A = this chain, B = another copy of it.
Amino acid sequence: MIHVVGHTAIDNISKVPHLPKANCSTHISDRQIYFGGGASNIAAGIAMLGEEVTLHSCIGGDFVGSEYELWMKKLGIRRQFFIVPDAHTPTAFMFTDENGDQMTFFEWGASKAFATADAPALPFVHMATADPEFNCRVAERSEFTSFDPGQDVFWYTKEQLTSIIDNTDILFANQHEVHQMCTTLGISREELVRKVDMAIFTMSGDGSTLTTRENEYFVPVVPVTLADPTGASDSYRAGFLSA
């Protein structure tokens, strides 16, 4: 059983003819609702690969009985939710105009419950983007931990990052995140790598590296036709952890 901790979110992706200025309005020509959130994406990937998975997320009263929940049930994802009945499930509103310019509004919503939630002690856990403090507490109490700071890397203090990496077995990051972690911690890339059993650093179209205490392996890309890059790194983590 792989446990995944982090956001379950609802993405509203809309097309507009132009982005509005302050005190103006525009009309939405198309709006699609996607099942998102990094942790939920990873859990779905693991479930699709046939592994047992439990998702730990904060959700609002709007999630119970929703199509998103039904889809998780169908995939066989076990759910350990912190339910905040009077809050919304984290929701993103993205508006893209005809020039490809974009505006994003993100509602943290129910995820505020991470701040006060009891951190579970888990045998094998992957920590995706969520509350840094909550992730630190999960890492401290859990046995085997995989950590992926993602775009939240900017929100981790030096103390939080030191604490969570001390408790991390597998570290996932892209080049920007590696750079930011080294800056926050004031250490080199080599020193960062030595702090964990396995460091997996991705380099977009250039493949990725897996560094253990003994060896460094280069993992080449598998060329595919690009359909949509959204969630690609979540799929990578789902595949790696399942394998």
Contacts and interface: CB of A to CB of B under 8 A. Distances in A.
Interface stretch (A18-26, A132-140, A173-181): A18-26
A88 interface: yes
A102 B25 CA distance: 9
Contact of A22 (B19, B22, B23): B19
Given A22-B19, A93-B93, A27 B107 contact: yes
Interface of A: 14, 16, 19-28, 31, 88, 91, 93, 95, 97, 101-109
Nearest to A106: B27
Nearest to A87: B31
Given A25-B106, A28-B93, 15 more contacts: A14-B107, A16-B105, A20-B104, A20-B105, A21-B103, A22-B103, A23-B101, A25-B104, A25-B105, A26-B104, A26-B106, A27-B106, A28-B107, A31-B107, A93-B93
Given A31-B88, A31-B91, A20 B108 contact: no
Contact of A23 (B91, B102, B107, B108): B102
Oligomeric state, in number of copies? 2
A25 B21 CA distance: 14
Contacts of A14: 105, 107
5 contacts: A14-B107, A20-B103, A23-B103, A27-B105, A28-B107
**Majority SS at the chain A contact face:** strand
A103 B27 contact: no
Given A19-B22, A23-B101, A28 B95 contact: no
Contacts of A31: 88, 91, 107, 109
A104 B24 CA distance: 7
* Nearest 3 CB-CB pairings of A with B: A25-B104, A28-B107, A22-B101
Contacts of A22: 19, 97, 101-103
A67 B14 CA distance: 24
A25 to B, nearest CB: 4
A218 B5 CA distance: 65
Contacts of A91: 28, 31
A117 to B, nearest CB: 20
A105 B95 contact: yes
Contacts of A105: 14, 16, 20, 25-28, 95
